[in-house]
Structure formats: C-alpha cells, structure tokens
Structure 1
Amino acid sequence: MRISGPTDRRGVTAPAAGRWSAGRARPRVLFLATSYPVYEGAAEGVFVARLAESLIPFVRVLVLAPCPPAAAKRSPRARGRKRVRVVCLRYAPARLRLLAQGPGGIPASLARRPWLWVLVPALLWAMFVGARRALRGACLLHAHWAVCGAVGGLAARLRGRPVVTTLRGEDVNRAARSFVHRLVLRACVALSSRVVVVSEALAQRVRRLVQAADPIVIPNGVGPEFFELDPPSRGDHFEVLFIGSLIPRKRPDLLVEALRTVPGARLTLLGDGPERPHLESMARAEGLSRRVRFMGQVAPERVLEYLSSAEAVVVSSEREGRPNALLEAMAAGRAVVVSDFDGAAEVVEDGVSGLMFPRGDADALAARLRSLQEDPAMVRRLGQAARARMRSLGLRWEDTAARYARLYEELLSEHGGAAGEDGMERGGRNGAA
C-alpha cells in the first residue's frame, strides 16, 4: 500500500495534489502529544500542529492531547485545507488541567507548582486509556516526546499497532541527567517500532543513553511564508528578537544582561513563562525598561510581524534539540546569534550563516550583537546566507511530512498493509478525521 505522493527532483517524496483517487486506501494516524495548540492562537507545540497539517495530503490525522482550562473558552484549531481533529484528554476537572500545555511543558509546570505531581498518574492513565480507545480506528500511533512513546507505545502494543515516536530534545536531555527519565526513554525505545529525532546530535545522544536505539533523523520544517519575508532595515533602534518560552534552559536572562553593553539596541521577547518576573526585575534594575519589551505569548501567525522588524534573532539556550525559532529566523533571512548547544553547528556555520557564542557567556553574546549593530552590511550578508542555508537543507514542512509518510508506509507494509479496515479511508470520502 502506497501512501506517498510523487517524487521531486531531489528524490524527496512530494505531497500528493488534490483529492485521493477513488479506491485508494488512506490510513488514519493517531498523534499523541503532551503539547499541542488545541485552540486558535495557542503556541504550545505548534511544530507538532504544523506537521499534522502538512500530513493531510497523505493521511488522516487524529490528535489526542491534554487541554488547558482556556481551551473551553476558545475556538478549536482548524487549519489547512482540511480539518485536523483534536480530542482532549480530560484527566482532571477543567480548572485543574494545569499540568501540560504551559510554557516549558510538563517539567516547567511541575517546577512552578509541585502539587501538580498528584495529577501525573491521572494524566498518564488518561493517555493510556485514550490512546487504546482511539487506536481502534487508527492504523498507526505517532507519539511525540518520550513519555508519550512509553505510555502510548504500551497501548499500541496491546492493539497490535505500529508506533513512531519523535524525540524532540528536552526529553532526551533530561534522560541524561535523571534515572527516572532514562527509564522512560528506554521504555519508549523498547515499545516503538521506529524512533525519530530532529537532529544528528540528538541521535548520537540517544545512542549513548540506549544502546539498542537506532534513531532516524527527520528534521522539523519551516513554512513557505518565512522565505518570502523582505530584508530588515535599520530604524531608530538595532532590533533584537527572542522567540521562546521564558524558562531557565532557554537563558533569556543572558539577553537582558548583554543589552547593558549594547547601547541603542532594543530587545523584544516573544513568549511567556516563570522567568518573566525575574527578567522584568533585571530590566528595571539595569535601567533597561524602555529597551526591553515583553510581548507575552503571541499567536504563531503573528511571529512574522515581529521578524519583519528584527535585524538579529538570538537563541541563547543551554540545551536544545533543533529549535524551530532558529529555523524560521534563518528562513526569514535574519542574522542569527546562537549559543553553541549540541547540534547548533548542523545548521549554523559560524561567521557564514550566523554567529555563535559559548553557552552562558553574556559578554560574548554582547560582543556578537555589537558587531552586528556596527556593521549593517554583515547583518544583510548573514541573513542572505542563512536563508540560502535553509534552502540548501530542504527544511520545508512538506518535505518533513513526505519523509514521515514514507516511514508510515514502510511500517504499515511490515504490519500487513493496514491494522484493520477501521483505520482506513477510501477515496471520495471527506478527509477530515
């Protein structure tokens, strides 16, 4: 059974155009995730949503994810040519569903509110029961993050369904430091038919932690709208942009500290999280309140507005997988200043397609920003090279979806073509799950 479209000149399977031909089987895939933008304007796990929407030409996608209290008051997310259906995991009364979907995900929520640990068993049980029920009508489970691979993998094993698990960075990073997280990672690998990671550095880390692991690298993609953004122009300020959760491992404090020695620069932070009060206090103490703007969490669709005026985008993280904020900034033709986390050099060539600095070094970050502020030609040159780098890597969501579609096809063939007719759709029916 083939579920992929035609092949383009680079050998990457391209999305099929239009409706599926009559009689052609179209499988349903269940996404299990702890972060997903379940209502319009939400930003949590938006890259999972981009993948789900890009897979629409190949498969039907049903998403199973926890819903935050705000979801009940918002319009459900429905993007792309056809709807991606989202089913909420109700693991607690609505007002208490604070464990997932916040800035930094479950680990950050537990750090902020330790009492939420009492809800962890309820969430895991809801994930298991929900996945087992939903897999009656799905051919394959695609889990996102290790905990979903472990819990959902067990449910899929009981249903006889194949499992793809995508590890995205922090789940692997935590496994390197925590015995419990390492057990979760090992269970995930054992219960998954295929394990996917978003960078080669992450693949090497997984192999070191779990000897039996043989992960496949499928990078995240970028939407075409980022490649169409015009070059930036210098205004009253040298505009610096940070995009991400305000959590410790992202190190947004480095930018506020660095700004002290970059006069004339203005920093805009897109995102929210537990570090915001501390960052606001830092800015006031350093007399930077007028040069640091806290925009809070903004809808993913508005990120382009802020990128359009930014000359430099900073990724200051201690640890990452392969952050989409970096990929989108490079595709938008912005000069990027990136900490030397594992895997950064896979995308950024220092001095050619961006500037790199040692992790945790605010002085080095400030020096890189000053060099860009003083040399607008360098800003343009690095931005052009960054966009060219993204084009050469072929990091588009349609390419990412095509690679996953081939992987699904391979697994379904190994499992006899399909896991029951209840997970299939015949051509001519509505593609919405």
Structure 2
Amino acid sequence: MKVLVVSSYKDTWNSVRPEAEMLIGLKAHGIDLEVMTEGDADYVRRFVDAGVRVHPYHPKKKLSWDAIKRIRALLKEGGFEAVYSFNNKAIANVNIAAMGLPVKVLTYRGQTGNISKWDLSCYLTHLSPRVDRILCVAKATEVDLRQHVWGNKAKVCTVYKGHDLAWYQDQPADLGQLGIPSGAFVVGAVANARPRKGLPVLLAATHLLSKDADIHLLLVGGGMDTPEVKKLIEASPMKGRIHLAGFRKDAPAVIAACDVSVLASTKREGLPKTVIEAMVYGVAPIVSDTGGSAELIEDGTSGIKVQPGDAKAIAAGIQKLYEDRELCKAMGQRARARIDQHFNVRQSSAALARVLFETVSGGF
C-alpha cells in the first residue's frame, strides 16, 4: 500500500515527534510511506534516513489554489491509495485536491471540543463528505466527534500516539536553581496559561493543603507572569513556595525532578504529552477527567483522576502522595510501566496500519 502524509514538522526543538515515529514504523507493516512537509522542517533528515521520501511543501493557508494543485498532481502521479492529513491547513486543501480521485482520505483529530455539525467551516475539514476516516488521539475525542458526524459513525476511530522509553534520557534538572530547597516535596505543572488549562483551579487547591507541609509548587510554561496569575499566587497561603519557571525547552527534565505532576485542565484535552513525559520519568500524575488524560492512567494505581474544576480533589491527591512517599514512588513507577506496556510506538504503528488497510478495503 502507498500512503501520502501531509503535515508540518517544523519547530520540534530537536525533540521526538511521536506521530512521525509512528508513521516511520508503518514500513514494517508493508506500507510505502511518503511525506509532504516543509523542506526545512526539523524532521526531514529523520524521514530521509528512515527511507521515507519527502516532498518539500506545506500549505501556508487553509484554502490555497496553489496547494490544491500541487497536492492533486502528486496524488494523481504517485498512485497513492490513501492520504492522511494532520492539521487544518493540510486537511482543507487535501479534501478538495482529492475530489474525484480514487484515493481514501483520512484526517487526524487531536482534541475534544471546538467542532460542531452546525458550524459550516467544519465541513472544510473533518466533516467534509470527502473524508473517509477520522483518526482520533483518544477515545474521549472519538466519543465527542461522533456526535457531529453524519452517516456512518464507524468512520471515527482511535489510534493512540505511541512512545518509547528510550526517547526520554533527560537527567532531572537541578531545582535548586529555581529556588526550591533540597528535599522539598515538589508538585510540577507544565502548561501554558490558557483558561482551559485550569491554573486557577490548581492555585485554589493550594489553599486546601496542610499549612505545615513542605510542599512546593513549580509552574512551567508561558503566560504565568500575568497580573491575574500573580494575584492568585499572592493570595495563596503557599505564595512563598510557588515558583514560576516560565517557558522551558527542558520542561521534561524539570518535571522529571518533581515528585508529582498535575494537569488541572477543565476542557478540550487530547492525549497530553506533558502527562506522558511525567509518567515516563516515574513522576506520579494527577489529571482531570477531560479529553484523553484519564485514559493514560489507571485511577489509584498509576495516577489519580479528578473531576474538572475540583480543587478539593486535587488537594486531597497531593496531600495523600505527600504523606505516603512510598505510594508516590510506586505510583510513578507504575505510570512509567503503563506507558511502556499500553502506549508504545510499536502498538501505535500496528494499529495505524490496521486502520489504513481497513479504510482502503472499505472493511469498517
């Protein structure tokens, strides 16, 4: 089978792209893969070294006649049986370029929410009648999207992004450089300060922790230094133990040095890489049950699940792990094992290959 992928692989900061590695793994399943992406994209060398042909182009806007013509010509000349698009610019142009051609069209959906069958703009992308299959990053995304798809709901399915423990070799960062004393119990939160990331909920939880507990909160991500956030920090009884690290390219190394990781999102998550990175480094995760976050863990075994917006439950989870360090360490190790056993790249490549063969044969 011959498959074309259209996606952007720029700005990876030399990190591993799980979906790219999953795609490279398709070769082991008898799939001839080619990729259309920016010629100067960070991952081009990795694709070429793996024997994947790269077409150096990516659409610059959601609807571009130049992009449509380029993609259509490649689909016609290349004899592809399927084309898989990963972002809205790629999806919208591919959907039109594939009109009337004998090629199956697949799209990637990476989060819940922000799509509706009553929004006409969505028919340019995932809800286009030209789309044969929509691959979701998590079951929660699949369930959410099926509500908006007309006709055959089975066209929506889930393929998890797989990881490999060998990709993660960072040494834990020295948190002393961030003002955190040696031996402190550190709760890390990696997220840019968008409303849906639940930072106010996490800071509300600091009011509910034991006042004499040596717990420090480390906030990693952009937008944490706004007047609104500073006001919430100043109001916290833990204000002297809340540390702002800002945006960090070494965020995995920073979270690896923590005892607990919290993602307090209130809505619209996919399969958060920040949670996966914490789990890989053996850091016990506390996640809100939105999007695919809760699918990553087994509640009470390899992590703690809370309801979105529940500051009391977040505080209880942190307090429990603070008071039982052995449980905290064991939960972190089970979290690491869960990624290796249930979310590895080999499984993802095999699952994606099955979906591609099913889609091309019409057997779903």
**TM-score w.r.t. structure 2 length?**
0.77
Partner of residue 78, structure 1: 45
Query: Contact 2:206 / 2:315 at 8 angstroms: preserved in 1?
Result: yes
Report the more deviating stretch, 220-229 or 210-219: 220-229
C-alpha separation in 2, matches of 1:161 and 1:390: 34
Partner of residue 109, structure 2: 167
Q: Give the secondary-structure state (helix, strand or coil) at the position aligned to 2:321.
A: helix
Give 2:33's match in structure 1, choosing from 60, 69, 72.
60
1:318 to 2:286 alignment: no
Cα deviation for residue 338 of structure 1 reads 0.7
Partner of residue 135, structure 2: 196
Summarize the alignment of residues 314-393 of structure 1 with structure 2, pairs less than 5 Å apart.
314-319=262-267, 320-393=269-342
1:254 to 2:201 alignment: yes
Q: Give the secondary-structure state (helix, strand or coil) at the position aligned to 1:142.
A: strand
1:38 to 2:10 alignment: yes
Give 1:205's match in structure 2, choosing from 144, 162, 180.
144
Partner of residue 222, structure 2: 272
Q: 1:410 to 1:204 in 2, by over 3 A?
A: closer
Cα deviation for residue 131 of structure 1 reads 3.1
Cα deviation for residue 210 of structure 1 reads 1.6
C-alpha separation in 1, matches of 2:357 and 2:21: 20
Query: Contact 1:150 / 1:191 at 8 angstroms: preserved in 2?
Result: no
1:51 to 2:22 alignment: yes
Q: 1:123 to 1:384 in 2, by over 3 A?
A: same
Report the more deviating stretch, 222-231 or 256-265: 222-231
Partner of residue 187, structure 1: 127
Cα deviation for residue 227 of structure 1 reads 7.7
The one-letter code of the counterpart of 1:59 is D
C-alpha separation in 2, matches of 1:283 and 1:177: 40
Q: Give the secondary-structure state (helix, strand or coil) at the position aligned to 1:29.
A: strand
Partner of residue 165, structure 2: 224
Cα deviation for residue 198 of structure 1 reads 2.2
When the two chains are superposed, the root-mean-square deviation of aligned CA atoms in Å is 3.8
Q: 1:82 to 1:392 in 2, by over 3 A?
A: closer
Aligned residues: 341
C-alpha separation in 1, matches of 2:301 and 2:17: 29
C-alpha separation in 1, matches of 2:149 and 2:122: 9
C-alpha separation in 1, matches of 2:326 and 2:355: 43
Query: Contact 1:258 / 1:362 at 8 angstroms: preserved in 2?
Result: yes
Q: Give the secondary-structure state (helix, strand or coil) at the position aligned to 1:337.
A: strand
Query: Contact 1:222 / 1:396 at 8 angstroms: preserved in 2?
Result: yes
C-alpha separation in 2, matches of 1:239 and 1:186: 41
Identity %: 22
C-alpha separation in 1, matches of 2:218 and 2:322: 16
Q: For residues 376-417 of structure 1, give each alpha carbon's deviation from its aligned partner in whole angstroms, at most 9, with x where no partner exists.
A: 112112113223333442x11122122223333455567xxx
Query: Contact 1:89 / 1:130 at 8 angstroms: preserved in 2?
Result: no
Q: For residues 213-262 of structure 1, give each alpha carbon's deviation from its aligned partner in whole angstroms, at most 9, with x where no partner exists.
A: 31222111112226888999x94322222233332222233333434554
Cα deviation for residue 337 of structure 1 reads 0.2
Higher relative contact order (CA 8 A, sep 6+): 1
Cα deviation for residue 132 of structure 1 reads 2.8
Q: 1:177 to 1:260 in 2, by over 3 A?
A: farther
Q: Which runs of 4+ in 1 moved over 6 A?
A: 226-232
C-alpha separation in 2, matches of 1:360 and 1:178: 28
Give 1:124's match in structure 2, choosing from 43, 49, 63.
63
Q: For residues 91-139 of structure 1, give each alpha carbon's deviation from its aligned partner in whole angstroms, at most 9, with x where no partner exists.
A: 4xxxxxxxxxxxxxxxxxxxxxxxxxxxxxx542265445334434541
Q: 1:342 to 1:375 in 2, by over 3 A?
A: same
C-alpha separation in 2, matches of 1:268 and 1:86: 42
Question: Which structure 2 segments of 5+ residues have no match?
Answer: 174-180
Query: Contact 2:280 / 2:336 at 8 angstroms: preserved in 1?
Result: yes
Query: Contact 2:58 / 2:90 at 8 angstroms: preserved in 1?
Result: no
Summarize the alignment of residues 2-21 of structure 1 with structure 2, pairs less than 5 Å apart.
none
Q: Give the secondary-structure state (helix, strand or coil) at the position aligned to 1:166.
A: strand
Q: Give the secondary-structure state (helix, strand or coil) at the position aligned to 2:189.
A: strand
Query: Contact 1:238 / 1:266 at 8 angstroms: preserved in 2?
Result: yes
Q: Give the secondary-structure state (helix, strand or coil) at the position aligned to 2:246.
A: strand
**TM-score w.r.t. structure 1 length?**
0.66
The one-letter code of the counterpart of 1:187 is L
The one-letter code of the counterpart of 1:198 is V
C-alpha separation in 1, matches of 2:14 and 2:203: 26
C-alpha separation in 2, matches of 1:87 and 1:279: 42
Query: Contact 2:6 / 2:58 at 8 angstroms: preserved in 1?
Result: no
The one-letter code of the counterpart of 1:153 is N
Q: Give the secondary-structure state (helix, strand or coil) at the position aligned to 1:51.
A: helix
